[in-house]
């Protein structure tokens, strides 16, 4: 008997996910535990394994579709077994309106068909289930301006073939190359100043947007800036570079900054905290999990290095590299994006000097690092050219006062300017 597998809750509070890539197609044999789809949710791409073996009878969505938790995404059974059309839950009915690229025109056309409004279209009932067509056939349909929803497939299990698309194109008699181009690029009508392009706010960018709004509307941000003379620290890093290379570790200044921050947090615990609005309690964290912002092609992600206090700079450098690679390849585990107590962002890597980063809710502070500059400083009555690291601290003024934020920054700077203290803390 055919088995319908529904999209499970893959994370805390998950209500929907976007189908990024199918790793199987209808007709394929699948083994129990075999990964069959990649779903994007909460800043990560999750690979879902099959709960049983059998033959893929039907896929419940197209790549790029956003589906609700509880929606059937795959049907598995035996070869040749007939399967009933997938019944879409009520929550999924308005799904096309979320603005999935390439599907924007389908929802209104379906509604127009039900209302018998022009242009008339001889569409099969939408209840027939998701379209079955290989990428090559989908591209051909796009090039010819053919809507796959209007075609009844003649291939195995109702799959749409190349011949089906070519036949539909001939019956149309009117070339429509422009509409599919619009469906892909999603351009909007020109405004009063010129042409524009509309890009759906979805997936990771939507998650980032929601997080930023929540932080700024919940937390009264305040900020402070300062500078640290990191000349000695860079000299220490340079001496440790050979040892790091032997361990095949790329050593940067960031692990040293993390160690300095954790040492400062131990002296100023109110910056390693969160605020429980419901109970009106400040929660001081006795552990130190440091989030590090990573710039990816899809947007900003914040992997969390756990239990930093018990790790040396080499261990931190190795773990940071691994987490960053997973973030950029979108293979990071959801657990690695949670549990942070304080965050560091390095906009100096892109050439920034000072900035006012947004706090990673529900934390109460975030430290920004600018690019290291050469500056003339007075050292024991003499002017010397020194390496200076700009620092920006944003903090929650409900929990931390300005004076305490300055004391915290001073402690961080003390450890950075005397790196021997960092090693003594290990």
- Tell how strand 35-41 and strand 373-379 pair up: unpaired
Looking at the DSSP bridge assignments, the partners of residue 30 are 54
> Residues for the chain: how many in total?
426
Encoded tokens for 87: 């019944």
Phi, psi (degrees; rounded to nearest 5) at 245:
-65, -35
Cβ distance 203 to 298 under 8 Å?
Answer: yes
Helix/strand/coil (H/E/C) assignment for every residue in 214-267: HHHHHCCEEEEEEEEECHHHHHHHHHHHHHHHHCCCCCCCHHHHHHHHHHHHHH
DSSP state of 161: P
Find tokens 């000695």 and name the residue: 232
Look at strands 342-346 and 365-369 and give their pairing. Answer: parallel
Here the contacts of 376-384 (C-beta below 8 Å, separation 24 or greater) are 377/229
User: Which residues are catalytic, by number?
Assistant: 397
């Amino acid at each position: 008997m055919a088995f319908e597998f529904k999209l499970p809750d893959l994370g805390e509070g998950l209500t929907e996910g976007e189908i990024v890539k199918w790793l199987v197609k209808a007709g394929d044999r699948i083994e129990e535990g075999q990964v069959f789809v990649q779903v994007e949710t909460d800043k990560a791409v999750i690979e879902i394994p099959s709960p049983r073996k059998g033959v893929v009878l039907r896929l419940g969505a197209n790549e790029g579709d956003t589906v609700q938790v509880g929606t059937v995404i795959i049907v598995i059974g035996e070869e040749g077994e007939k399967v009933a059309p997938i019944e879409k839950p009520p929550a999924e009915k308005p799904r096309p309106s979320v603005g999935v690229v390439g599907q924007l025109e389908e929802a209104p056309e379906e509604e127009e068909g039900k209302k018998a409004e022009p242009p008339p279209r001889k569409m099969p009932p939408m209840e027939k289930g998701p379209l079955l067509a290989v990428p090559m056939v989908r591209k051909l349909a796009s090039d010819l301006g053919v809507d796959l929803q209007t075609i009844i497939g003649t291939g195995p299990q109702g799959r749409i073939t190349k011949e089906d698309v070519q036949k539909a194109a001939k019956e149309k008699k009117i070339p429509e190359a422009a509409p599919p181009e619009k469906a892909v690029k999603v351009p909007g009508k020109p405004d009063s100043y010129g042409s524009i392009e509309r890009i759906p706010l979805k997936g990771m960018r939507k998650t980032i947007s929601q997080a930023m709004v929540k932080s700024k509307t919940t937390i009264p941000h305040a900020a402070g800036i300062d500078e640290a003379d990191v000349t000695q620290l860079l000299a220490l890093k340079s001496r440790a570079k050979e040892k790091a290379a032997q361990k095949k570790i790329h050593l940067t200044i960031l692990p040293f900054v993390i160690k300095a921050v954790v040492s400062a947090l131990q002296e100023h615990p109110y910056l390693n905290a969160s605020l429980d609005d419901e109970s009106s309690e400040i929660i001081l964290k006795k552990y130190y999990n440091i989030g590090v912002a990573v710039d990816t092609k899809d947007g900003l992600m914040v992997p969390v290095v756990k239990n930093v206090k018990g790790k040396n700079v080499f261990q931190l450098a190795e773990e940071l590299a691994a987490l960053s690679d997973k973030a950029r390849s979108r293979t990071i585990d959801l657990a690695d994006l949670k549990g942070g107590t304080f965050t560091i962002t390095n906009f100096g890597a892109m050439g920034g000097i000072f900035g006012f980063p947004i706090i990673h809710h529900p934390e109460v502070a975030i430290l920004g690092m600018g690019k290291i500059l050469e500056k003339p400083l007075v050292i024991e009555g003499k002017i010397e050219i020194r390496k200076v690291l700009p620092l920006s601290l944003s903090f929650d003024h409900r929990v931390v006062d300005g004076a305490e934020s300055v004391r915290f920054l001073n402690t961080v700077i003390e450890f950075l300017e005397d790196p021997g203290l960092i090693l003594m803390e290990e």
